[in-house]
Amino acid sequence: MKLHDLKPDAGSITKKTRVGRGIAAGKGKTAGRGTKGQGSRSGGKKRQYFEGGQLPLVRRLPFRRGFNNLFKIYYQQVNLAQLDTLAAGSIVTPELLAQHGFIRDAEAPVVVLGRGELSKKLTVHAHRFSKSAAEAIDKAGGSMETLKLLLTGAAATIKRPTKEAIAALKAKQQS
């Protein structure tokens, strides 16, 4: 017995189907690909979740990839430790925070979080306060003013207004 005489047991391995080898082979002419369409052509491959150009299920469902909540409001965060660097008795507004570089945009909503200590009496104007931040500001003898959001919903996130439109909204809100 030589190496070239070795063969697997009968029936343990089936031969590979050779497609496109005539009618008698059972897989002739269209070779099992059907008659027409993308799958019948050479190179006609498609992604696993491809649905013929329709928006795929993966992107349609919010708990899957590809979903952005239009109504989520993104707050700029400021911590108590940052506020403690400001002068005592000052009135802290989003404009002042932007000047000091604590936030990027004075027009965007601001939330004050309770990380750090506050030892100075401050008057803080922000759109939202965490519970611990509110307690710390009261404990330091300061006061808080909750600012009203100029825009909510999709208008606040997707359709960002111009600076002139924001100024007009502020003027309308103050009057």
**Which pLDDT score is estimated for 149?**
85
First CA to last CA across the chain, in angstroms? Answer: 103
Predicted model pTM: 0.56
**Which pLDDT score is estimated for 41?**
87
**Which pLDDT score is estimated for 167?**
83
**Which pLDDT score is estimated for 154?**
67
Q: Quote the distance between the C-alpha of residue 98 and its chain's center.
A: 25
**Which pLDDT score is estimated for 158?**
64
- Tens-binned pLDDT, residue by residue, of the chain (175 aa): 899 999 888 888 888 899 999 988 889 999 988 898 888 888 877 778 888 889 988 778 776 555 677 778 889 999 999 999 999 999 999 999 999 999 998 888 999 999 999 999 999 999 999 999 999 999 999 999 999 887 776 666 666 677 788 888 888 877 7
Q: Which CATH class is domain 76-174?
A: alpha beta
Any residues with CB less than 8 A from the CB of 49 and at least 6 apart, and which? 56, 57, 58
Residue type, 169: L
- Torsion angle in degrees (nearest 10) through CA of 25, 29, 35, 40: 90
DSSP letters spanning 87-155: PTT-EE-HHHHHHTTS-S-TTS-EEEE--S---S--EEEESEE-HHHHHHHHHTT-EEEEPPPS--THH
**Which pLDDT score is estimated for 157?**
64
- Domain definitions of the chain by residue range: 76-174
**Which pLDDT score is estimated for 163?**
79
